[in-house]
Homo-oligomer: A and B are copies of this chain.
């Protein structure tokens, strides 16, 4: 009999496959049979590890949030300048979210909590917990008086989370996108008057 560490091995394969499928096709477009087929097992086998389809998505989503958070923390590293910290955070976020092969990160931007009937509250809590990081990052920034920081944060997250829609795995890499994005939000893109 496998110990607990090995016992967790089996669900890991299941989650990897489910993450890739959910990220590519969306929650409702992926059936339990699709997941089973991609694993080379029968549908019932999935239920030896997860009580329901929603719980599979919830597990993938939780893992996805954790991976994005880890990527953001790693990218920030020891940077101290608030704008530099924000740019690094964006790069980490983009790297996680654009990793279509892994899928975990993409699931968080692709699947809206409301799509998963039984687990929506849980997913919202996970997402809110992660977004608190960006709330803190934005709070550090020296912004013009009168700037709505919530709106600023949503603009930033919107731009970041929309990238999987148009970024076909090609084009500018995460670092380049993050650089221009933060530079624009910081000092603007308008040409200097002369």
Contacts and interface: CB of A to CB of B under 8 A. Distances in A.
A94 to B, nearest CB: 11
Q: Chain A at the B interface: mostly helix, strand, loop or mixed?
A: helix
A192 to B, nearest CB: 7
Contacts of A185: 184-185, 188-189
10 contacts: A25-B115, A26-B28, A141-B190, A148-B180, A151-B172, A151-B180, A154-B166, A155-B184, A185-B185, A187-B190
Nearest to A155: B159
Contacts of A160: 158
Interface in A128-175: 141-145, 147-148, 151-152, 154-163, 165-166, 172
Contacts of A154: 159, 162-163, 166
Contact of A191 (B144, B159, B181): B144
B186 A188 contact: yes
Interface of A: 25-26, 28-29, 83, 112, 114-115, 141-145, 147-148, 151-152, 154-163, 165-166, 172, 177, 180-181, 184-192
Contacts of A156: 159
Nearest to A30: B28
Contact of A142 (B26, B144, B190): B190
A158 B29 CA distance: 24
Contact of A161 (B145, B158, B172, B184): B158
